[in-house]
Structure 1
Amino acid sequence: MQHPLLSKDLSMFVLASARGPLATMHALDVMWVSFYSIAAMLVSVLIVSAVRKWVSNGCLSMILRLFAFGLFFIGTILMILVVFTWPS
């Protein structure tokens, strides 16, 4: 008689390959994308900090903060793509 667990399909417990939007990329390329996203988020935080400390012009301050927000948004989207491609 065969063991009951051996007759079942156990493929649902195995992460055979990467799933997600970056699954076609090599793992080291996905690593570089994660580094770029971390750098984009870090640069955006530094821009906001510099604007708060040194820029007193309201219009320029708003433009730089919008740029920093866009950069942070791009970094966040890239990091979400990396996380969804995690099991590789």
Structure 2
Amino acid sequence: MGIIPLCFKAGEDADTLGLTGHERYNIDLPSNINEIRPGQDVTVSTDTGKSFTCTVRFDTEVELAYFNHGGILPYVIRQLTTQK
């Protein structure tokens, strides 16, 4: 999947944070994917020196499982190959 859904905090958006869309972003996620929780706050920093907090929009454990497996399709394939 490679996409981490994030939500700005209330009252913040790209304009208020001065983001142009040309930045490179670093998302401070736990190194162990099992430590990510639905609705968790994370720090996002840019290559221009800006830093802000966002909420990770994995809303369920199933969404986290999909992310952990690289997306829905790899998850389903792994489930099918492990069934007997």
Larger Rg: 1
| TM-score, with length taken from structure 2 | 0.25
Higher RCO (CA-CA < 8 Å; seq separation 6+): 1
In terms of fraction of residues, the more strand-rich structure is 2
In terms of fraction of residues, the more helix-rich structure is 1
| TM-score, with length taken from structure 1 | 0.25
